[in-house]
Chains A and B, each alone.
Chain A
Amino acid sequence: MNHSVRFRDVTIGMELDEFTQTISQEYIDRYAVASLDLNPIHIDPEWSSRAQTFGRPLTVLHGMATMSLMASVVTRTWGATAQIARMQSKFTKPVWVGQTLSFKGAVKELHYLSPGRSFAVLNVRATDSDGDMVGFCDFDVRLPG
């Protein structure tokens, strides 16, 4: 974790720390309670097996949990105080219970503005156990000098 990263030290292509997260039903349940998104598609295996909203009889992880974990790539690498100013995400495949997600990211753009306003754009991608991308997110992160 680097709490003191500065704009001048960041380069295009610089990679962020990778991590994985196994998505158990308990993990989904805890995120559901944390977010207050208690949709049965996440927390009700019996209902999900009947409704098959995403074409499989399984619960799915919240898209916002995937997005949160993608944001965590930034905060786990550059610290919880990293100033994320914007997050733009897209979700490309459902995350069914039992998957293990892998997260990796890199610096995509550098925007040279006035001191304290300069920012980097980081692209973070999430892939599932099959190697398929389940989502990606661009983060605008303001950095000191």
Chain B
Amino acid sequence: MKGIERIGYLFETQKQLGFDRDFLSGWELYDTWDELEVGRTYNAPHDYVVKEEDLVYYNRALGETDPLLIDPEYAAQHSPTGYVMAHPCFLVSVVFHCLGPKGHGTWLRTPAARNPFQDIELYEPIFVGERITLTFTAVDRFIRRGKHYITNLNEFRGSADVLKAKWLATLILPPTREEIRRFVTA
């Protein structure tokens, strides 16, 4: 059974249930390292409307037990926002949701991509109910010790276009589509 079928029972939230799950299909159209255009900014095709179920699922998956992070009833009484609080790294799910399976930024879904280092600046907390938009720009692609890196600047904006966070996201990728094919068909 493919991994994505094996874990089907875990999908609960509206976004999870609607997400295009199979990273091994459609790879022929993914952006690749050798074709990537540095310096061009794109708007992600999807926005992210934050729901409490999104935050609760992320926090529970990590194993958090603080009721401010996992208990909506407790949070309603004690949280500064009136809702459960977002984990500092919650933005990762925002990125995957906003980019989707086609178009620019799909290199993020590349099978065999590796994560070497990350740099995230948080300016404003994330609130339940707000709509987050994502723009992304490939700011560098480079070769270091034989590995092919890409660094992407993700900018997250909330209501009234307020900048909420910047994330310099770096990944190591297979450099060409042929290399991706080799992994996909392993």
Contacts and interface: CB of A to CB of B under 8 A. Distances in A.
Contacts, number: 155
A35 B3 contact: no
Contacts of B15: 36
A81 interface: yes
Q: Please report whether the interface of chain A is mostly helix, strand, loop or mixed according to DSSP.
A: helix
A87 B10 CA distance: 29
A4 to B, nearest CB: 14
B169 to A, nearest CB: 9
B160 interface: no
Interface string B1-43: 0111011001110011001011110000000000000000000
A88 interface: yes
A63 B57 CA distance: 18
Contact of B3 (A37, A40, A65, A68): A40
Contact of A39 (B11, B64, B111): B111
A27 B121 CA distance: 27
Contacts of A80: 66, 68-69, 85
B146 interface: no
A38 B88 contact: no
Nearest to A43: B3
A87 B47 CA distance: 24
Contacts of B183: 51, 53
Given A46-B3, A75-B87, A63 B23 contact: no
A136 to B, nearest CB: 10
A29 B10 contact: yes
Given A30-B10, A84-B88, A87-B89, A35 B96 contact: yes
Contacts of B116: 63, 90-91
16 contacts: A35-B58, A36-B16, A38-B22, A40-B23, A41-B112, A44-B24, A46-B2, A47-B2, A51-B186, A53-B112, A68-B92, A75-B69, A76-B64, A76-B66, A84-B122, A87-B118
